[in-house]
């Protein structure tokens, strides 16, 4: 079954993980290519201003595809499958594709987000969770580790001690606690999840696409700088920031404000 379904409406593209019978596992052959193709198409479409990523069925994603691991290695070692470099590279290709998106990415977590599934949610800019959602990095329970970004993104997003509390126990965290810890932006009833995600997306789409792209790029590139001063100095050299300063939107915003009318964003 195809991993992703893609639907675009009102400047928003919705990507749905579509293997509900097996809780949307990741890592089967072609998964990385599917994400790369979808994200490349989104980046090429200047009309898309936001992306929502969700899962079909009762799970966002239960994590790595155990069957794909077995097929790639042909053997199991102990209680967990042996993981080949090819399998790991495929998972990382999914993460790189999501990280390449120039527009905001919202995870609408509809259920279980375990291991690689949680790592994908952490790679998104915002997480909106159903009240039935659960999150965990349980890899140590089967002799593995969260090597697709979880060990690094979680401490950066919620702080070292809170992150270590999850990582070193592998415990499950409900959506409400996820909001308290700081990696979930909003918790809503499961029946209202997609409406809530679209509400956040609509608020983003009200703003200048050029400003949003520049702001997203500056935040993430700035976090890689050695100091706040370096981040503030370096932001003027970032491609999306330079594009914003040269854009029609950069002129339209102040003009619309002065004329007391809604801005007509061009996204260029």
Asked if the structure places residue 24 within a domain, the reply is yes
Residue 82 pLDDT greater than 70, yes or no: no
Asked if the structure places residue 37 within a domain, the reply is yes
pLDDT at position 78 = 47
- Residues 218, 142: one domain? no
pLDDT at position 73 = 46
- Residues 212, 84: one domain? no
Residue 66 pLDDT greater than 70, yes or no: no
Q: Is 217 a catalytic residue?
A: no
Residue 72 pLDDT greater than 90, yes or no: no
- Residues 157, 226: one domain? no
The string of pLDDT tens digits covering residues 87-131 is: 778 888 999 999 999 999 999 999 999 999 999 999 999 999 999
How would DSSP label each residue in the chain?
--SEEEEEETTEEEEEE--GGGT--B-STTHHHHHHHHHHHHHH-TT--EEEEEESTTEEE--B-HHHHHHHHS-EETTEE---HHHHHHHHHHHHHHHT-SS-EEEEE-SEEETHHHHHHHTSSEEEEETT-EEE--GGGGT---TTTHHHHHHHHH-HHHHHHHHTT---EEHHHHHHHTS-SEEE-GGGHHHHHHHHHHHHHTS-HHHHHHHHHHHHHHHTSSSHHHHHHHGGGSHHHHHHHHSHHHHHHHHHHHTTS-------
The string of pLDDT tens digits covering residues 227-262 is: 999 999 999 999 999 999 999 999 999 999 999 999
CA dihedral 187, 190, 194, 195 (to 10 degrees): -80
* Mean pLDDT across 47-57: 97
- Residues 66, 106: one domain? yes
- Residues 227, 198: one domain? no
- Residues 224, 247: one domain? yes
pLDDT at position 53 = 98
pLDDT at position 75 = 46
- How far apart CA 199 and CA 148 sit, in angstroms, is 29
Asked if the structure places residue 177 within a domain, the reply is yes
- How far apart CA 171 and CA 134 sit, in angstroms, is 10
235 alpha carbon, distance to own chain's centre: 23
Asked if the structure places residue 109 within a domain, the reply is yes
The string of pLDDT tens digits covering residues 179-226 is: 999 999 999 999 999 999 999 999 999 999 999 999 999 999 999 999
- Residues 94, 179: one domain? yes
Mention every residue, 6+ apart, whose C-beta is less than 8 A from residue 85: none
- Residues 153, 223: one domain? no
From the list 7, 82, 139, 206, the catalytic residue is: 139
- Residues 59, 77: one domain? yes
Which residues on neighbouring strands pair with residue 169, listed in sequence order? none
- Residues 160, 233: one domain? no
pLDDT at position 3 = 86
The string of pLDDT tens digits covering residues 5-35 is: 999 999 999 999 999 999 999 888 889 999 9
pLDDT at position 65 = 72
From the list 7, 82, 119, 186, the catalytic residue is: 119
Among 159, 186, 204, the domain boundary falls at 204
pLDDT at position 69 = 64
Which residues on neighbouring strands pair with residue 5, listed in sequence order? 16
Higher pLDDT, 118 or 78: 118
Residue 81 pLDDT greater than 90, yes or no: no
The string of pLDDT tens digits covering residues 140-163 is: 998 889 999 999 999 999 999 999
Q: Is 248 a catalytic residue?
A: no
Domain total in the chain: 2
Phi-psi region of 52 (alpha: psi -120 to 50; beta: other; left: phi over 0): beta
């Amino acid at each position: 079954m195809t991993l992703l379904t893609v639907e675009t409406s009102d400047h928003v593209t919705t990507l749905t993980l579509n293997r509900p019978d097996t809780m949307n596992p990741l890592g089967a052959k072609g998964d990385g290519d599917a994400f790369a193709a979808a994200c490349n198409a989104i980046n090429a479409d200047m009309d898309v201003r936001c992306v929502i990523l969700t899962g079909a069925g009762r799970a966002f994603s239960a994590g790595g595809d155990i069957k794909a691991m077995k097929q790639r290695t042909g053997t199991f070692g102990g209680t967990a499958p042996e993981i080949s470099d090819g399998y790991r590279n495929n998972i990382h290709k999914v993460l790189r594709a999501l990280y390449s998106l120039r527009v905001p990415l919202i995870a609408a977590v509809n259920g279980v987000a375990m291991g690689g599934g949680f790592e994908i949610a952490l790679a998104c800019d915002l997480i909106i969770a159903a009240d039935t959602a659960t999150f965990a990095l349980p890899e140590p329970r089967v002799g593995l580790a969260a090597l697709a970004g979880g060990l690094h993104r979680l401490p950066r997003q919620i702080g070292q001690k809170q992150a270590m509390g999850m990582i070193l126990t592998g415990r499950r965290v409900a959506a409400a606690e996820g909001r308290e810890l700081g990696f979930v932006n909003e918790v809503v009833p499961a029946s209202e999840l997609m409406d809530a995600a679209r509400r956040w997306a609509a608020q983003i789409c009200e703003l200048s696409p050029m400003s949003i792209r520049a702001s997203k790029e500056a935040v993430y590139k700035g976090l890689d700088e050695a100091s706040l001063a370096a981040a503030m100095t370096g932001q003027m050299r970032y491609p999306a920031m330079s594009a914003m300063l040269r854009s029609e939107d950069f002129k339209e915003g102040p003009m619309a404000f002065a004329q007391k009318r809604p801005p007509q964003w061009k996204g260029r």
